[in-house]
A and B are shown apart, each in its own frame.
Chain A
C-alpha cells in the first residue's frame, strides 16, 4: 500500500476505549469512507475490520478467518482490494475506503450487485460483499477479463456454498454489459 501520508493526530494520555479507561493513545483518523469525509477517534492498533463493523456500523464487511485467508473482509483502499482483518485502523488514514455499503446508492445497485442477484451468485451470502469488492477491483483494472482472469482474481475469496461458477457468470456478465454500454 506504500507509506501512508500521515493525516491523523495522536493524543497521548488517558482515553476511553471500548468503554474502558486505559492509558495509551487515541488517534483521530481522517479518511474518506464510502465517499464521505470522515473523522474518527480510535485506538490506532485496532483492526480496520473492527472499526468498520463496530464503530462505523458497516457490518457488510464480514470476517471469516481473521488471518487473511478467506477474503470475506475485503474492502477497497484507493480502488484496490485489501483485507481489512490484516489492516490496523491507522492504515485507513488519508485513504479512500469503499465498503460494500458504499458501492451502490439508494436508487441503483452497482452492476455487479445486480448481476450477483440475477445469476444466482448469492447463497448464504457471507462471502458476497468481499467477492463483489474483489470483482470490482478487477473490473477497474481489467474491464474485459476472461473467465480464467476472473477465477484467478477471486482465488483469494473463499466461498463454501456456490462452487464459484455462478459468481464467475455474474462477473463475466457484468463485464459484457459494461462493454455493451461503451
Chain B
C-alpha cells in the first residue's frame, strides 16, 4: 500500500489488520518460550459449600508437577474485586459458585497438568444454594456471603423524579408487563489466558488478554500483597473481550504461579468450557414495568422494579445495575419516574460487564412497553417514539438535563424515511404460505464513560523517536474495537505524518500511562482527547525547535510536513531525524491528561451508587428489523436490518460501521438463540455446540445509516459507538414478532420453541 497520511474522517484501514490477517500478530495466547511451564485451576464443581479438605498429595507426587497451591498459600488479602473485594483468588473456606478456583497447579506440560488436576481430591460439604433472585430474597435464605451486612442484597437503589405513584393513577392509559432476560456469555474467540514470569530482580511480568492492564496491577497487588513496583502488565491486542476481560480472570492466578516457578515462564489458557464456567457473564434480569400515558400517547409516569442476578461475587454487579437503572426509562421524556433496583448475590456464575452494560437488558423492557402502549392506543409505534423522544434541553428519566448532543429523534426520522419502513406493508404481504412477516423498531441509547464519582481519565503520550518517527503510547487496550487506529489517525491529522511513520505501543504499565479500561464506549473519546492535546504540544515543540535551527524569527512560516519541518518562505527544511537528534529525550516526549466532563445537575436520588451515576453523554440509535416467522416451527428468520446511529461525528466510517454491524450481530444472538442454561448453579451448555452464537447464515445484510451530530466535548466531535448497537436487536425483533403474529413475548431469547409455544397458546389475532 502506498504511504498516506491517516486523517480524521477517512476510512483508514486498521493499523493492526495486516499483522492479524497474516497471522503475525502476537496475542497474549501466542506467547510461548523455551522452558515454559503450564498452570491450571481445579474448579469447585459445587455451587455452594464449605471446603472440608483438599488433598494434593497424589498430584504433588506426579513427576512433572512443580507446585500445587491452595487458598492458604495466597499472600496478601486473597481477595479480588473492582469495587467490593469479595472474590478469592483461591477459595479458602467456602465455594460460592461452580467456577470457584480451589487449587492452582503448575506443571511441566499440559498433559501432566491435566493429570495433576484430576488427582487433587477436593472434599466440599455442600450447602443449600440460591439460584434465582426469588430464592435469594426469601427470609432465611442461605447466604452467599455471611459477612455481607445486607444478606444476599449486594445493592438496593432507587432513582426517582417527580411523583410516579400519583402520576400513574392519573394516567389515561396504563400498561404493565414483566420481562425476563437470561444469562449470556461473551463468547470471545480467544479465551482467557496469559503468560507470567519472575525476573531476576524479583519483578513479575504478566502478558495477559485484558481490558484493564493498569487496574489489573492494582488488583494483583492487593490480592497477592505485592508492591506495585514489582508488577509489570503488558496488554497486547485481544482476540475479543466485549466486557468479559474487564476484571481479574487469570491475572492473580498467573502471578501467584510465577512466584513459585523459579523464573520460568508460566502459561495459563482456559479452554472453552472453563471460560464458560469460570468467566464473567451478562446478568439475567427480571424487569417489572408500569408505564402510564395520556390518551394522545404522551408519556407521563413510569415505575419499574429491576432484579439483577449478579452471581457469586460483586465484581461490577452494582455498577451494571446502576447503568441499567439509569437507562430504564428509555431515551424518552417521562416527567414522573420511580426506578427501583435490586442487585442480588446467588450461587450462579459471576455476572459483570458486557457490551451494553445493564442497558441491553432494560432496552428489551422499555421498548417492549412502547410497543404495548402503541398497540393499546392504536398509534403507529414509530410515531409514539417520535412524540416522546428526548431532545437537547429535556430532562431524562434520571433527572439529568440533556445539555449535550442528543440525536435520537434524528435516528428515528432517518428510519422513518427509509424504504424498509416506507414499503413495509407491501413487503409484509408477500410472505409465503405458513410464513408471517413483521417489521419492528427500537429506539435505544447508551451512556459513555464511567459517570460521576470516578474520574474517566486518560494520559496520552506521544514521542518523536530518534528515527524521526512518531510513536503513540496507548494506555488503553484495543480488544478489537479499533481505537488503536483512531489514535494513529489523530496523530496523523495533527502531526501530518504518513501511516508508515507512525508507531503505536499497546498498553504496558512500564511504557504507557494509566488511561482507564477499554470499556464504557470511552476509549477513543477519553484517550483521543488526551492525545489531541499531547500531539498539539509536540507539533508546537517541533516547530519551535526548528525555528532555533533554521534561525527563523517567527514560527508562522514553519510547517510540519511528512518527515520534515519546512520554512515555507525560505524553502529550507530540516528532516525529523535531524531534529530528533538535536532534541533531548524528554523534549521529544509529550504527555497530556484528559478527564471526561460530568453531569452538573444536583440530584436527590441514586445516592446508593458509589460510582458510575449519572452520565452526561449518550449515543443513540434507532433500529428496524424485518423478520419472517415460520408458523410450523416458530423459527424467526431475520431478513433485513437497518440501524441509524448517532454517535457524534465519525472519525473513521469503516470503523464506525464495524462497530454497528458487530453489535447488531451480537444483539441478534441475544434476541434469538443465546442463553446460558443453568441447573442448580451448573452450566448445562458450556460449549459452542449447545450455546449458539450467530454464524454467517444467521445474520442478514445490514444497512448502517450514520446520523451525525457534533459533540463539542468529543475529539473532533465524536462520541463512543461501541455499545449502543447491542441494545436494539432484541426489542426490535420482539416488536417485529408482535407485528407479524400478534404475540408480545416478554422472555428472551425468542427461540423457535418458545415462539411456537406462544403461537399455540395465544388466541389468533
Contacts and interface: CB of A to CB of B under 8 A. Distances in A.
Interface in A116-130: 116-118, 120, 122-129
Most chain A C-beta atoms within 10 Å of own C-beta, residue among B35, B63, B661: B661
Contact of B22 (A18, A54, A113, A163): A113
A125 B480 CA distance: 7
Nearest to B690: A69
Contact of A167 (B18, B481, B696): B696
Interface string B1-45: 000000000010110111011111111011010010000000000
Contact of A160 (B13, B17, B22, B693): B693
B149 to A, nearest CB: 39
B190 A124 contact: yes
Q: Is the interface of A mostly helix, strand, loop or mixed?
A: loop
A168 B20 CA distance: 17
B39 to A, nearest CB: 15
A26 B666 CA distance: 45
A96 interface: no
A39 interface: no
Contacts of B632: none
Given A101-B22, A151-B696, A163-B664, A117 B190 contact: no
B280 interface: no
Interface in A27-65: 50, 53-54, 57-62, 64-65
Contact of A166 (B21, B29, B481, B658): B658
B657 A164 contact: no
Interface in A155-182: 155-168
Interface in A72-110: 72, 99-101, 104, 109
B430 interface: no
B699 A160 contact: no
Given A64-B191, A165-B702, A109 B239 contact: no
Interface residues of B, number: 64
B189 A64 contact: yes
B317 to A, nearest CB: 23
A73 to B, nearest CB: 10
Contact of B63 (A20, A118, A127, A151): A20
Nearest to B238: A124
B109 interface: yes
Contact of B17 (A18, A116, A129, A164): A116
A65 B686 CA distance: 10
B21 A163 contact: no
A120 B13 contact: yes
Nearest to A46: B111
Q: Is the interface of B mostly helix, strand, loop or mixed?
A: loop
Nearest to B35: A19
A120 B658 contact: yes
Contact of A117 (B13, B29, B665): B13
Contact size range, A: 35 or more
B108 A20 contact: yes
Given A118-B13, A167-B696, A126 B27 contact: yes
Contacts of B25: 125
A66 interface: yes
A67 interface: yes
A126 B189 contact: yes
Contact of A64 (B108, B111, B190, B701): B190
A161 B18 contact: no
A154 B696 CA distance: 6
B658 A128 contact: no
B188 interface: yes
Interface of B: 11, 13-14, 16-18, 20-27, 29-30, 32, 35, 63-64, 108-112, 186-191, 237-242, 271-272, 479-482, 654-655, 657-658, 661-666, 687-689, 693-697, 699, 701-702
Interface of A: 17-20, 50, 53-54, 57-62, 64-67, 69-70, 72, 99-101, 104, 109, 113, 116-118, 120, 122-129, 132, 150-152, 154-168
Please name the 7 residue pairs, one residue from A and one from B, whose CB atoms are nearest each other, closest first. A60-B23, A124-B480, A125-B20, A126-B239, A163-B665, A18-B109, A100-B23
21 contacts: A18-B109, A50-B110, A53-B30, A54-B32, A57-B32, A58-B23, A59-B30, A62-B189, A69-B688, A100-B21, A104-B22, A109-B18, A109-B21, A120-B13, A123-B658, A124-B20, A124-B188, A128-B20, A128-B21, A154-B696, A161-B662
Given A20-B64, A126-B189, 5 more contacts: A18-B112, A58-B23, A127-B189, A129-B21, A160-B242
